[in-house]
């Protein structure tokens, strides 16, 4: 029994990071109605930029390195929109999808070009996990959970209590109507991209702290985030959160029942089935941004 509970615990922690990725992806979808394939690359860039500030010549402490890294990731996210997506927005969503696939491929290879394909780490010594009645959690895992809760709580307060949040939600509901009502579109779109990038970067940094940095780290996790978005219903922030947790738990519990070689198949199969049979998401009944 405790075996399954520990798997569940691992799933919750992995899922909370997926949720961080998924929130940004779903926000972009909610406002701009397209699937940003290069969202995964924001995850990777967030982590690698932190590594850049953390290692020589900068050698800043980790928390200090994370701040400029998140800011630069937000710049990348914002420029994606400004230079590529905005000119294409009037066209077909498919053009945006192709552009984002191309962009993702370009950004991923840029990471390879600059930092190489080899695995990198922050060089923390491994620590024995803390034991709670037979369950093990590491400090970094707790940090992941705490950071996820922290970011999501800020998002919740921002979206529900501020004028900014309200204009964002109005835009997600109906872009044209919101524009007619005098909501500043450039401001909304800038805040969406910055929010999505910062969340992606934060998730990427946590993931890198827990494990390693790799050029494909974003792309592999994007699939999970995407599954989470679909589970929650595209555009639904709270749905994405629950979706992230669900994917994390499902794939980790799955290891108990079939070959770990199929671990990724859980997320893929979920995406596939949901797309085909419940495109509105499992949690479509929940109210949220949308």
Partner 1 sequence: MDYILHVLILALIYSIFAVSLNLELGYAGLYNFGHVAFFGIGAYISALLSRAGMPVEGAMLCAMAGAGIAGGLLAVPALRVTEDYFGIATLVFAEMFRLVCLNERWLTKGPMGLPGIPRPAWIARGVDGLPVYLILTALAAAGVFLFVRRLTGSPFGRALRVIREDEHIAQAFGKNVLLLKIKTIVTGSALAGLAGTLWAHYISYISPADFTLTETILVVLCVVLGGRGTHWGPVLGAFAVIFFGEAVRFLPIPHELHRYVAPLQGMVYGGILVLIVLKMPSGMIAEHRRNGA
Partner 2 sequence: MKRWTGILACTWLLLSGLVSAAEVKVGSITPLSGKLSVYGEGFQQAMLLALEEVNAEGGIKGSPMRIVFEDNNSAAAGSVSAIQKLITIDKLPILFGPAASSNYLAVCPIAQQNKTILIAAESAAAEISKCGSYNFRVFPSDALQGIGVAELTHALKFDQVVLTYINNDWGVGLAEIFKKKFLESGGKILDDFAHDEGKTDYRSEVLRVRKSNPKAVVNLTYIKEGATILKQAYESDVKTQWLMGSASKSPKLIELAGEAAEGVIGTYPTFSQETPQYQAFKAAWEKKYPDKKIPVFGEYNYDMVKLTAKALRLAKSMSPEDLRQAMIEAGKGYAGVTGDKTFDANGDVGAVYGRWTVKQQAIQDYK
99 binds partner 1 (CB under 8 A): yes
> Should residue 98 be labelled a site residue for partner 1 when binding is judged by CB under 8 A?
yes
55 binding partner (options partner 1, partner 2, none; Cβ < 5 to 8 Å by kind):
none
Asked whether the beta carbons of 215 and 235 are under 8 A apart, the reply is no
- Of the pair 13, 267, the CB lying nearest partner 1 is at 267
Of the pair 95, 138, the CB lying nearest partner 2 is at 138
Q: Which helix (H) or strand (E) holds 132?
A: strand 130-132
Interface with partner 2 includes 132 (CB under 8 A)? no
The torsion angles phi and psi of 176, rounded to 5 degrees, stand at -65, -45
The count of other CB atoms within 10 Å of the CB of residue 276 is 8
Q: Does 214 bind partner 2 (CB under 8 A)?
A: yes
- Please report, for residues 20, 66, 137, 140, 290, the alpha-carbon distance to residue 238 in angstroms, rounded to integers and kept in the order given: 11, 26, 26, 25, 10
d(CA 45, CA 228): 21
Tally of residues, the chain: 290
Judged by CB under 8 A, does residue 126 bind partner 2?
Answer: yes
Q: Which of residues 170, 179, 269, 286 is near partner 1 by CB under 8 A?
A: 269
- Say which residues have a Cβ less than 8 Å from residue 79's Cβ, sequence separation at least 6: none
Q: Which of 109, 121, 174, 211 binds partner 1 (CB under 8 A)?
A: 109
Question: Residues 7, 12, 71, 84: which binds partner 1 (CB under 8 A)?
Answer: 84
**Residue 214 touches which of partner 1, partner 2, none (CB < 5 to 8 A by kind)?**
partner 2
Q: DSSP characters for 182-204?
A: T--HHHHHHHHHHHHHHHHHHHH
Of 117 and 160, nearer to partner 1 (C-beta) is: 117
Minimal distance, residue 169 CB to partner 1, in Å: 22
Burial class (CB within 10 angstroms; exposed 0-12, middle 13-18, buried 19+) of 58: exposed
Contact 37, 104 (CB under 8 A): yes
Among 255, 269, 282, 286, contact with partner 2 (rule: CB under 8 A): 255
**Only segment of 49-57, 60-68, 247-255, 270-278 that touches partner 1 (CB under 8 A):** 270-278
Chain CA centroid to CA 178, Å: 26
Count of residues near partner 1 by CB under 8 A:
41
269 sits near partner 2 (criterion: CB under 8 A)? no
SS3 115: helix
Smallest gap from residue 268 Cβ to partner 1 (A): 5
Q: How far is CA 222 from CA 38, 72, 134, 188, 237, in A?
A: 9, 20, 32, 24, 16
User: Which residue among 20, 72, 74, 103 contacts partner 1 (CB under 8 A)?
Assistant: 103
How far apart are CB 90 and partner 1 at their closest, in Å? 12
Question: Is 101 an interacting residue with respect to partner 1 (CB under 8 A)?
Answer: yes
Tokens of 44: 């990777």
284 binds, among partner 1, partner 2, none (CB under 5 to 8 A by kind): none
By CB under 8 A, name the binding residues for partner 2.
Answer: 3, 6-7, 10, 14, 116-119, 121, 125-129, 131, 136, 138, 207, 210-212, 214, 216-217, 220, 251-252, 255-256, 259-261, 263-264
């Amino acid at each position: 029994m405790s075996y399954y509970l520990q798997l569940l615990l691992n799933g919750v922690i992995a899922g909370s990071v997926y949720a961080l990725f998924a929130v940004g992806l779903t926000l972009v979808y909610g406002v701009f109605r397209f699937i940003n394939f290069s969202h995964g690359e924001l995850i990777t860039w967030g982590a690698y930029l932190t590594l850049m500030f953390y290692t020589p010549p900068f050698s800043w402490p980790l928390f200090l390195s994370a701040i400029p890294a998140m800011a630069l990731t937000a710049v990348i996210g914002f420029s994606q929109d400004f230079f590529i997506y905005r000119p294409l927005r009037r066209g077909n969503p498919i053009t945006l999808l192709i552009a984002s696939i191309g962009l993702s491929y370009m950004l991923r290879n840029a990471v390879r070009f600059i930092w190489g394909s080899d695995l990198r780490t922050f060089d923390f010594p491994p620590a024995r996990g803390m034991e709670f009645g037979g369950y093990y959690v590491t400090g970094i895992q707790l940090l992941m959970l705490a950071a996820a809760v922290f970011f999501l709580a800020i998002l919740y307060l921002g979206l529900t209590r501020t004028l900014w949040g309200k204009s964002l939600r109005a835009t997600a509901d109906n872009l044209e109507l919101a524009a007619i009502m005098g909501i500043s579109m450039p401001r909304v779109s800038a805040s969406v991209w910055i929010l999505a990038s910062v969340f992606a970067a934060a998730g990427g940094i946590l993931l890198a702290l827990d494990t390693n940095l790799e050029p494909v780290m974003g792309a592999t996790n994007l699939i999970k985030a995407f599954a989470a978005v679909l589970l929650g219903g595209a555009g639904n922030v709270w749905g994405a959160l629950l979706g992230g947790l669900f994917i994390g738990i499902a794939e980790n519990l799955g290891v108990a029942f079939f070959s770990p070689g199929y671990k990724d198949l859980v997320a893929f199969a979920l995406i596939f089935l949901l797309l085909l049979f419940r495109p509105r998401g499992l949690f479509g009944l929940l109210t949220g941004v949308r």
